């Protein structure tokens, strides 16, 4: 029979350690602080150690719980519990099952500073300008919202380990989409469950009534609107139950976040319903109607099926229509874009988790597909993309981040990263209107003044052209393949042996002139020359190659690890006189003030 007894109590520096033992192979242990005086409790983590559930109690009330690989001895890194919000209260952290000889309690750190300050962002495989979490795991980008000069980036986060789990919303802010400051996690699991993906918005008219003390600016507009985040709560015991849609809000410009007390705002409809994307629809036909429009929620249901819901106040939702047969599942996004930059001619895009999209019309109630599904991606490390809400009209861009899923970061205290920020446009092609995805212009701010300009004719399969001046590991490279002279001599050529090879850091890219297929990291995509030309842009970071072709009609995101420290050495080769090759190469700067690994 198992029984628990109090072993001892240590009091020092205002902190209390409580240890209770259960006879058998494992014990439960608790860490106590009363009163809470510091901002952070740093817990020692050892990747691969047995996982234990840890509960967080404040004044005897369960706040949330998570799994963690507590280090029984020397830790690999520290995971952080932000406790500053509970200053003066009693904190109890209880590990349910650890080995009786575990030393995790003696390695706990309490501080007003984040842990590992001397090490963070200097790791061997830390991306240098792609967002990655300070510590722990990340997957989907969430809650992308812009407000008062700040881009808010939320993300699926496991703060307590480098594998998927403990779904929480991490939070980072930036003024340029490149340099990010990570904030304490914004949305923690609660009685409604763990926190899955969703979206963010500014409630400019306070339709929700969440701002109880509204203030007007000089122009008469609301000066302190609520910022609102919608997410999926996976209910029941430890995230294993049905899903529902919940929300949190901020009344201080995103510094702190409060759970809506009547969560969930949209109860479970079907087992998998999740990933709410919420945006404001302006009613152009009836601008004098209630608030001049309404809120729309795009929601994944199951299979390849989605639905749209409407609300006037963000809390009461009614179903409007179904959207079926997208060709993929999860993580919807929906937005309106001008065609060819013409604001008088717009189309709506409905997007799914795997990058499939439909083009159509939307009257505020029903989305009517007119073309698709299409895709801009053909496999690779790219999933669950989301675009920003509330980008000012003076900017006008549709800015997107995506999770570079499946990357490997051996031995690192973080795991996974996002793509570079991307700009989306609709353009007319020979096959109709299509979505184009390109790196956001902000990337060019990282370019060094030095660049390599190079042009040559292909010299043959056994004669590689090596582009001079390629030093470093961070690049923005523009490659132009011009086939005009070859096409004039061979206007109907479909010879699939007409191959052009490009290689950098050991990563090979191939273009087949006959089949009109480009291939990178084993991923193939159709790519037809435009005016006898193929334009390729490569954005290269320490662990990634992102390829954009012909202004982003296709893009391939690929993660890799350069374990052998292969130098850049961009080489291009192919059949003699097949094409003229032009290259512009820019070395990019790290977003970190100190280069990792230095």
Q: What is the mean pLDDT of residues 556-568?
A: 88
Confidence band of 327 (pLDDT split at 50, 70, 90):
very high
C-beta separation of 66 from 53 below 8 A: yes
Q: What is the DSSP string of 16-32?
A: EEEEEEESSSEEEEEEE
**Do 4-111 and 447-588 show the same overall fold?**
yes
Instruction: Give the model confidence (pLDDT) of 346-375 as tens digits.
Output: 999 999 999 999 999 999 999 999 999 999
Per-residue tokens: 416 = 């996974």
pLDDT given at position 17:
44
Identify the CA nearest to 263 among candidates 158, 157, 189.
189
**Residues whose CB is less than 8 angstroms from the CB of residue 131 and which lie 6 or more positions away in sequence, other chains included:** 153, 155, 172, 180, 401, 417, 418
Lowest mean pLDDT among 11-15, 25-29, 277-281: 11-15
Rounded CA-CA distance 265/244 in Å is 8
Using the predicted structure, report yes or no on whether residue 434 has a pLDDT greater than 90.
Answer: yes
Partner residues linked to 576 by β-bridges? none
Query: Number of helices (H) and strands (E), helices first, in the chain?
Result: 1, 42
pLDDT given at position 239:
53
pLDDT given at position 380:
81
Residue ranges per structural domain of the chain: 4-111, 136-439, 447-588
Lowest mean pLDDT among 35-44, 447-456, 555-564, 572-581: 447-456
Catalytic positions are 140
Q: What is the mean pLDDT of residues 76-86?
A: 92
pLDDT given at position 18:
44
Using the predicted structure, report yes or no on whether residue 589 has a pLDDT greater than 50.
Answer: yes
DSSP 266: B
Element holding 44 (H helix, E strand): strand 40-45
Instruction: Give the model confidence (pLDDT) of 235-268 as tens digits.
Output: 755 556 689 999 999 999 999 999 999 999 999 9
For residue 200, with 0-12 CB atoms within 10 Å meaning exposed, 13-18 middle and 19 or more buried, which class applies?
buried
Identify the CA nearest to 201 among candidates 295, 285, 136.
295
Per-residue tokens: 269 = 């409809």
pLDDT given at position 551:
96
Using the predicted structure, report yes or no on whether residue 22 has a pLDDT greater than 60.
Answer: no
Q: What is the mean pLDDT of residues 428-441?
A: 97
Using the predicted structure, report yes or no on whether residue 6 has a pLDDT greater than 50.
Answer: no
Instruction: Give the model confidence (pLDDT) of 177-217 as tens digits.
Output: 999 999 999 999 888 889 999 999 999 999 999 999 999 99
Q: Do you know the residue count of the chain?
A: 598
CATH 2.115.10.20 fits 136-439, yes or no: yes
C-beta separation of 404 from 418 below 8 A: yes
CA angle 265, 269, 271 (to 5 degrees): 120
Instruction: Give the model confidence (pLDDT) of 375-410 as tens digits.
Output: 988 778 999 999 999 999 999 999 999 999 999 999
**CATH code of the domain made up of 447-588:** 2.60.120.560
Using the predicted structure, report yes or no on whether residue 571 has a pLDDT greater than 50.
Answer: yes
Instruction: Give the model confidence (pLDDT) of 440-452 as tens digits.
Output: 999 999 998 778 8
Q: Count CB-CB contacts under 10 A for residue 341.
A: 11
Q: What is the mean pLDDT of residues 11-22?
A: 40
Per-residue tokens: 1 = 């029979």
pLDDT given at position 316:
97
Lowest mean pLDDT among 179-183, 235-239, 465-469, 481-485: 235-239
Q: Residue 558: how many CA atoms within 13 Å on its side-chain side?
A: 24
DSSP 567: -
Confidence band of 15 (pLDDT split at 50, 70, 90):
very low
pLDDT given at position 568:
84
The mean pLDDT value of the chain amounts to 90
Rounded CA-CA distance 440/399 in Å is 7
Confidence band of 13 (pLDDT split at 50, 70, 90):
very low
pLDDT given at position 541:
96
User: Which CATH fold topology does 4-111 show?
Assistant: Jelly Rolls (2.60.120)
């Amino acid at each position: 029979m198992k029984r628990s007894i109090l072993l001892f109590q240590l009091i020092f520096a205002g902190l209390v350690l409580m240890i209770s033992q259960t006879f058998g192979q494992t014990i439960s242990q608790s860490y106590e602080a009363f009163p809470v005086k510091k901002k952070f409790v740093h817990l020692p983590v050892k990747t691969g150690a047995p996982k234990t559930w840890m509960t967080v109690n404040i004044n005897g009330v369960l706040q949330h719980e998570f799994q963690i690989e507590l280090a029984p001895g020397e830790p690999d890194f520290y995971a952080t519990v932000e406790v500053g919000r509970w200053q003066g209260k009693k904190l109890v952290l209880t590990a349910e099952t650890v080995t009786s000889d575990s030393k995790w309690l003696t390695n706990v750190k309490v501080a007003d500073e984040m842990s590992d300050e001397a090490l963070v962002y200097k790791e061997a495989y830390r991306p240098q300008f792609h967002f990655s979490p300070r510590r722990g795991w990340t997957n989907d980008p969430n809650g992308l919202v812009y407000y008062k000069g700040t881009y808010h980036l939320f993300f699926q986060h496991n703060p307590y380990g480098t594998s998927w789990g403990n779904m929480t919303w991490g939070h980072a802010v930036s003024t340029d989409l490149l340099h990010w400051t990570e904030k304490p996690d914004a949305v923690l699991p609660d009685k409604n469950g763990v926190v899955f993906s969703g979206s963010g918005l500014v409630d400019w008219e306070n339709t929700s009534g969440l701002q109880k003390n509204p203030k007007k600016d000089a122009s008469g507009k609301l000066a302190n609107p609520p910022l609102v985040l919608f997410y999926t709560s996976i209910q029941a015991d430890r995230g294993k139950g049905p899903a529902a849609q919940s929300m949190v809000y901020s009344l201080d410009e995103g510094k702190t976040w409060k759970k809506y007390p009547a969560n969930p705002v949209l109860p479970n409809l079907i087992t998998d319903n999740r990933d709410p994307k919420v945006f404001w629809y302006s009613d152009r036909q009836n601008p004098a109607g209630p608030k001049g429009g309404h809120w729309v929620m795009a929601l994944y249901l199951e299979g390849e099926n989605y639905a749209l819901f409407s609300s006037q106040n963000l809390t009461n939702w009614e179903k409007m229509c179904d959207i079926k047969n997208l060709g993929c599942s999860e993580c919807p996004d929906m937005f309106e874009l001008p065609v060819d930059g013409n604001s008088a001619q717009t189309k709506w895009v409905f997007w799914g988790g795997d990058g499939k999209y439909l083009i159509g019309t939307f009257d505020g109630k029903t989305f009517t597909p007119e073309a698709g599904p299409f895709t801009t991606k053909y496999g690779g490390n790219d999933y669950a993309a989301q675009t920003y809400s509330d980008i000012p009209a003076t900017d006008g861009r549709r800015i997107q981040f995506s999770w570079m899923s499946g990357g490997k970061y051996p031995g690192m205290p973080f795991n996974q990263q996002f793509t570079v920020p991307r700009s989306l446009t609709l353009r007319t092609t020979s096959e109709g209107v299509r979505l184009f995805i390109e790196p956001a212009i902000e990337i060019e701010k990282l370019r060094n003044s030095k660049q390599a300009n190079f042009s040559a004719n292909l010299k043959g399969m056994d004669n590689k052209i090596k582009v001079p001046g390629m030093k470093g590991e961070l690049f923005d490279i523009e490659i132009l393949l011009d086939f005009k002279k070859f096409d004039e001599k061979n206007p109907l050529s479909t010879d699939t042996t007409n191959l052009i090879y490009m290689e950098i850091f050991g990563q090979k890219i191939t273009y087949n002139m006959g089949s009109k297929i480009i291939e990178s990291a084993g991923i193939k995509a159709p790519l037809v020359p435009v005016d006898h030309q193929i334009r390729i842009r490569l954005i290269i970071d320490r662990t990634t190659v992102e390829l954009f072709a012909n202004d982003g009609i296709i893009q391939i995101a690929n993660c890799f690890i350069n374990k052998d420290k292969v130098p850049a050495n961009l080489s291009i080769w192919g059949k003699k006189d097949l094409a003229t090759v032009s290259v512009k190469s820019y070395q990019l700067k790290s977003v970190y003030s100190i280069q990792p690994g230095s």
